[in-house]
Structure 1
């Protein structure tokens, strides 16, 4: 098994989310330091939590979209979730899929608990380290 930079980012994101996670309000992060899974991945990638993640979703989405390592990690986390990402104009919306992991129920299930989010981040890290490609997503059984 090889160690990938994406796996390392996801491992660090799990540690960051464990310490600072649990944000389920507006935007990707709160001014008091709480982060959603997307913000934890961005912080793991860059070492910072920009103002836009806390206050401006449009700017944050651009920031995320143009950060290739963060987007790779977001796609890996989305791939290990038991649901499919929402489809936006024919394109899977991985950011939407991951950001709402801890904040609302999908398919009538309760929202993920803090430990479940950390577990999903760690599972995505292990999967990224074990595979050379992002696996195709499939519908939950």
Structure 2
């Protein structure tokens, strides 16, 4: 199982080279398929291509992503690096909704969603935070 830091850094590379899907479902078909930030976390963490459900079935996509411990660890790390808190679904924080919405929608007082560079920067910041926590586990 890859480390969360490694998954995050690989996610940044994938987004840099393949872009980021910000529409309906978790992926879109085109000359180069694009994936939502959570779908990218899944494909990188599981080291596999995007499953067909990412293009057509949001409920099945959510279940697949939630079942992947390394993908959820990366998603939670990104969520922790954001300036907002995740909403709750069934009394639990909804980390997937949190980062998918952050990457795809305009923030209050902003004219557009975060740029691809801003998304990559936040992912790398989450990876750096994990590196710092590992290097100094007693830091507050």
* TM-score, scaled to structure 1: 0.84
Q: Distance in 1 between matches of 2:36 and 2:82?
A: 15
> Greater relative contact order: 1 or 2 (C-alpha under 8 angstroms, separation 6 or more)?
1
Which of structures 1 and 2 has the bigger CA Rg? 2
Q: Distance in 1 between matches of 2:87 and 2:22?
A: 18
- In structure 2, the residue matched to 1:113 is 115
SS in 2 for 1:100: helix
- In structure 1, the residue matched to 2:91 is 90
Q: Distance in 2 between matches of 1:113 and 1:10?
A: 17
Structure 2, unaligned runs of 5 or more: 135-140
Q: CA deviation at 1:53?
A: 1.4
- In structure 2, the residue matched to 1:139 is none
Structure 1, unaligned runs of 5 or more: 133-141
Q: Contact 2:54 / 2:61 at 8 angstroms: preserved in 1?
A: yes
- In structure 1, the residue matched to 2:60 is 59
Q: How many residues align?
A: 129
* Consecutive aligned runs of 4 or more in structure 1 exceeding 3 Å deviation: 106-110
RMSD: 1.5
- In structure 1, the residue matched to 2:103 is 102
Q: Distance in 2 between matches of 1:85 and 1:107?
A: 16
